[in-house]
Structure 1
């Protein structure tokens, strides 16, 4: 039987400032609030575990005006508990104590406890990314904006050595978006550059097939969430008839009947965002169910700071995945936490020679 300890939970808020207006089909982001969760044993204060709760505007089930109040109340309750120092026990206890409706909070608490359990080194479990500095291939993300801004980003990502580009579409004129994708395809074949697009539910069931057909002519690898989430029947029909593979994203948020969703829709891929899905345990369950059904998957950050990005990178690495993940968001902010995370030649690396900035 492993030891049980009483732990103290607290948090620090930071408002991250975007380096540019980050355009999505749901609007433009300029700032982003994140909450860094701190865990320590008052009798052994030098070991600190850090996690991150970062509800995403208009998307997270726990993006709400009273989130900070709920966070404070939840952490006060968790500080009354005794914790058995064993990985599965910690995760199962978090699952029982933190509501499924508070996914980013659950993920932040999981993160902080596993970091504490592993000695407060920002390592959560065994994984080649942290343990062996094994880099993870990632996609280069092209944000929405006017044509010249998007073209500038495309050139920059290609020059930086990315061989997988993901472009957000659905905000500017569709013809212009096709032209920008065509700009890449004229220069690089699908063997040289993998092209993904993310519509964030911007297309309607009436016009989506025509748009998918035109995108398919550009050898697109996959499209994320072509129509709004929630209509499983329409999405199933789309996945059955689509000329290019479909990846579910927003469709997974807030869903507890995972098997039912996958069996009903039968998608080609799913996108996993632990902050929106409820953390390590929930994400692992989605992966298990997807792999049983031969459904592809990859992991994506939800604009967390480097604390959350590090945790998601380690989770992806623990599955030894070879396909590009969506983990390139660390340079988005002026005031992100300095960290060992580095992006070079289309991959994210953990450079242990670089120290972590103290969140406090």
Structure 2
């Protein structure tokens, strides 16, 4: 394929309302879009490091993408996908959000050339659809009534308030399967007490209640509820450490933190070998980033409910695909290659 042009665009989009990225609330999301042009198609990707969690900064992600673009300008022949992925690997080394964006643009471009959606290009046996969890949020796109799996971000450590909140949800909507996300806001003793008190409820997992591996291990020894890690799962090495320390039952994976499809597959295969459940979720990227995450989730044939396209995040963002009865059909994602 002949590459005729590349573009990089920096963006800063205001959230409709202040939104948690990790433990802190933010009023906007910053990132970069990269576009790669052939004679017939345009591939696009998004890099949006998570403030306070990603190991690279916004500026470092942009610098890595610019280096990739400079390298492509020197390519004056028909380039293969393997060559482009190698360039993405080199320039995205230690900058996972940039690698995520560059791979998205490359796979977007070559999948169009093959007349396939990205998930089918990556894996012909990929899922045609993925399931999406609802979330308790003022701007939720999926009604709680129509969802079997409900995520709740919990900022209150008072067990009576937490139980009261769950009871109100059950009374209003029936007994949903709950995911409770504490964003590392508890200490070990409080986490043990809360898990003990909540064991009678229908809870799929408690997400990142504490941050330290030793505390997560100790909590698992005292809890009948599965424990999930999120913020501390940054790459394959941290996944191995979490497993070595017996610190989690569930991996909640944000592909922006890992890098490319190859990085996701490695962690997915490792988790499967240790019988650890995988849940794929966004880091509140825009439509471009969340679309690629959806394709990746389908390509690895996930069976878990995913956390994408379930909140209206930004003003005037009308590209989000419809999610019917918690199901997102991948071919319904339109405009990704615009």
Instruction: Note the alpha carbon deviations across 1:152-196, whole angstroms, 9 max, x for none.
Output: 969x7324x111100001257553333111212345665xx2111
Q: Secondary structure at the match of 1:331?
A: coil
* Residue among 19, 35, 50 paired with 1:38: 35
* Residue among 292, 309, 313 paired with 2:290: 309
What is the CA distance between 1:71 and its match in structure 2?
Answer: 3.8
What is the TM-score with the length of structure 1 in the denominator? 0.81
What is the CA distance between 1:330 and its match in structure 2?
Answer: 5.7
**What residue number does 1:15 align with?**
12
* 1: CA distance, partners of 2:239 / 2:336: 38
What is the CA distance between 1:26 and its match in structure 2?
Answer: 2.0
Q: Secondary structure at the match of 2:104?
A: helix
> Pairwise mapping of residues 170-185 of structure 1 onto structure 2 (< 5 A)?
170-171=155-156, 174-185=159-170
Task: Please say if residues 98 and 106 of structure 1, whose CA atoms lie closer than 8 Å, have aligned partners that are also in contact.
Answer: yes
* Residue among 344, 350, 357 paired with 2:324: 344
**What residue number does 1:146 align with?**
none
Q: Secondary structure at the match of 2:103?
A: helix
* Residue among 19, 22, 26 paired with 1:29: 26
Instruction: Note the alpha carbon deviations across 1:13-45, whole angstroms, 9 max, x for none.
Output: 23222222224662222211231111124xx2x
Q: Cα RMSD between the aligned structures?
A: 3.3
For structure 1, list consecutive stretches of 5 or more residues without a partner in the other structure.
144-148
> Hey, which bits of structure 1, 4+ residues long, moved more than 6 A?
127-133
**What residue number does 2:260 align with?**
279
**What residue number does 2:118 align with?**
124
Aligned residues: 336
* Residue among 305, 321, 335 paired with 2:316: 335
* 2: CA distance, partners of 1:137 / 1:15: 29
What is the CA distance between 1:197 and its match in structure 2?
Answer: 0.8
Q: Kindly indicate whether residue 131 of structure 2 is the aligned counterpart of residue 141 of structure 1.
A: no
* 2: CA distance, partners of 1:25 / 1:92: 31
**What residue number does 1:157 align with?**
143
What is the CA distance between 1:292 and its match in structure 2?
Answer: 0.7
Q: Which deviates more, 21-30 or 280-289?
A: 21-30
Task: Please say if residues 179 and 206 of structure 2, whose CA atoms lie closer than 8 Å, have aligned partners that are also in contact.
Answer: yes
What is the TM-score with the length of structure 2 in the denominator? 0.86
What is the CA distance between 1:213 and its match in structure 2?
Answer: 1.3
Q: Secondary structure at the match of 1:195?
A: strand
* 2: CA distance, partners of 1:357 / 1:246: 34
What is the CA distance between 1:246 and its match in structure 2?
Answer: 0.6
What is the CA distance between 1:233 and its match in structure 2?
Answer: 2.3
Instruction: Note the alpha carbon deviations across 1:277-301, whole angstroms, 9 max, x for none.
Output: 1121111111000001111111001
Return closer, same or farther for 1:9/1:55 CA change in 2, 3 Å cut-off. Answer: same
Q: Kindly indicate whether residue 80 of structure 2 is the aligned counterpart of residue 85 of structure 1.
A: yes
What is the CA distance between 1:276 and its match in structure 2?
Answer: 1.2
Return closer, same or farther for 1:122/1:115 CA change in 2, 3 Å cut-off. Answer: farther
Return closer, same or farther for 1:7/1:292 CA change in 2, 3 Å cut-off. Answer: farther
**What residue number does 2:190 align with?**
207
